[in-house]
Amino acid sequence: MPNVLSVITDLAEASAALTRRRGFAETQLSTPMREGVRRVFGADLSAEAVVDRILTDVRADGDAAVLRYTEAFDGARPDPIEVPRAAWDAALAGLDPPLRDAMELAADQIAAFHRKQLRTSWIDYSDEGALGQIVRPLERIGIYTPGGTAVYPSSLLMTAVPAKVAGVEDVIVCSPPSGGAVSPLTLAAARIAGVDRLFQVGGVQAIGALAFGTETIPHVDKILGPGNIFVVLAKQRVYGVVAIDQLPGPTETLLVADGSADPALVAADMLAQAEHDPMASAVLVTIDEGLVAPILTALRDQLDALDRREIAAQALAANGLIVVAPDLSTAMGLANAYAPEHLCLLLRDPWRAVPLVKHAAGVFVGEHSPEALGDYTAGPSHVMPTGGTARFSSPIHVGDFTKVISLAAANEAALRRLGPATIALAHAEGLGGHAAAIERRLAKGRPATGETAV
C-alpha cells in the first residue's frame, strides 16, 4: 500500500494533525448532488439555499410540498405517505431466521443496557418545604433513517429502542422510498423496536415535516438520526423549533496499541472503519514502532480481499493515519486531543488506560471488544458524536428522551430565610416588581404595629 497511509513519528506534527477541527459536515456538493439540484430547481443553488427553500415550502404547503419533493428527488410519489403496519409485519416475517434472531438479540442487548440509565423523579422534604425534580419522557420523537444506497436497520434499533425504554409515547420514523418503497430491513427493524408510525419520506422534506407537522405527519419534540449534508443542514436549521440529537459527520475510530497487539486484528479494525465511506477516518496511535511495518502489510493483504476495497482505500488515503508515540501517557493525550467517536484500546493491560480517557464517545476495551461489536450487539447506542464533538456531547442515551421539570415548594420559614437575599438581588438587577413580590409576602406575615406575635 505505497503512499496511501500516512505514518507520523514527530509528536508536534501528530498533535497538529489530530487536533485539527474536522467540522460536522462538508458543504461542498458532489457532482451528482449538484446535478440533482439543477434538475429540481433549474439553478445552481448552495446546499444551504436548497435546505431553506424546501423547509419554507414544507412549512407553507405541508403534504403537497412533501410529496412534490419526494417525487422530484426519490422518483416516487408515495400513496399513502404512511406505511401500513401490515407491511411491517410482512417484512419481519420475510426475514431469514438467522437475521431476525440477530436483530432481536441486538434489540434485547440495547434495551438491557439502557434500562440501567433510567432516572426517577425525586423530592426532598425539609422544615422549609420541598425541592425536587420531575423526570418526564418526551411525548413524541422523530427518527430519520436513510434508505437510499445505504440502509442501516441497526441505527434505527440504536435510537428507537432507547426511546421506548425511556417511555416515549410516540416514536415516529421517516425513511425515503428506494425503488418506490421503504427497505424491508427498515420496516422489520421498526417492528422489532416498537416504533409507532412510519412514513415513506426522506431528505429535507422529512425533517421539515417532523419539525413543523403536516396534514399527515405529526410534528415531534426532537429529531434524531443520520443523513446526508442536506439532512444535517436541515436539522441545524430547525433546531429551536424542535430539539435535535447532533450534527453527525463522517465516522471515525482511533486505536491505541502496544507491542502485544496482533497486527492482523489492528488492520481488520482499521478497515472495518474505513469501509463505511470515503470520508471515514481510521487512526492508529502505537507505542511500539515495530508494529508499523506488519500493520501496513496486513492492511495491504486484507484490503485486497475486502468487498468495499475501493471505498476503504479512498478513506485510508484521505484520512488514515498511523502515529508513533513514546509511551502510553503520550498516546492517550493524543487520543484525548482527537476526541474520537470510537476509542479502541488494544493493549496488554487495557484497563490501565481507561482512567486516562477524557474525551471519547465510546471506549472499546481489549482485543475481544472490537468497535464492530459495538456497531451491532454490545448494547450501547452506536449513534455517537463525531468530529471532535465528543469533547462536549454524548452518545444517544436514555437522557436524550427525557426532560427535567424543577419543583419548588417553599413554606414561610424558607421565604423568611431566602427573601431578604432575593430582594437584594432583584433590586441590584433593577427588577423592583420581583422584589415587591417577596416584600409583600414578608409583610403579610408580620404582626401589625402595636400587636404582639403569638
Residues identified as active-site: 341-342
Among 141, 135, 105, smallest CA distance to 118 is for 135
What DSSP state is assigned to residue 30? P
For 304, other C-beta atoms within 10 Å of its C-beta total 10
The DSSP call for residue 346 is: E
429 marked as part of a ligand binding site: yes
Classify 364 as helix, strand or coil.
strand
Question: 248: which residues sit within 8 A by CB, 6+ positions away?
Answer: 24, 25, 226, 227, 232, 383, 385, 386
What sign does the CA torsion over 439, 443, 449, 454 have?
negative
Collapse the DSSP code of 182 into the 3-class scheme (helix H, G, I; strand E, B; otherwise coil) and give the result.
coil
Task: Give the contacts of 92 (CB within 8 A, at least 6 positions apart).
Answer: 100, 187, 188, 191, 192
User: Torsion angle, CA of 44/47/50/51, rounded to 10 degrees?
Assistant: 180
Confirm or deny that 31 is annotated as ligand binding: no
117 is in an annotated binding site: no
Which of 235-238's residues contact partners 24+ apart within 8 Å by CB, and which partners?
A: 235/207, 237/51, 237/52, 237/55, 238/55, 238/207, 238/208, 238/211, 238/212
Residue 205, marked binder? yes
Cα separations in angstroms, 376 against 2, 107, 195: 33, 9, 19
Residue 276 assigned ligand-binding role = yes
Q: Is 439 annotated as a binding residue?
A: no
- 242 close to 208: Cβ distance less than 8 angstroms: no
**End-to-end Cα, the chain, rounded Å:** 91
Q: Is residue 375 marked as binding? A: yes
**Contact at 8 Å (CB) between 129 and 410?**
yes
Find out whether 228 is annotated in a ligand binding site.
Answer: yes
133 is in an annotated binding site: no
Pairing outcome for strands 342-346 and 6-8? unpaired
Binding-site annotation, residues:
144, 205, 228, 251, 273, 276, 342, 375, 429, 434
| Residues annotated within a binding site for substrate | 251, 273, 276, 342, 375, 429, 434
- List, as residue ranges, the binding site for NAD(+): 144, 205, 228
Residue ranges for the known binding site for Zn(2+) are: 273, 276, 375, 434
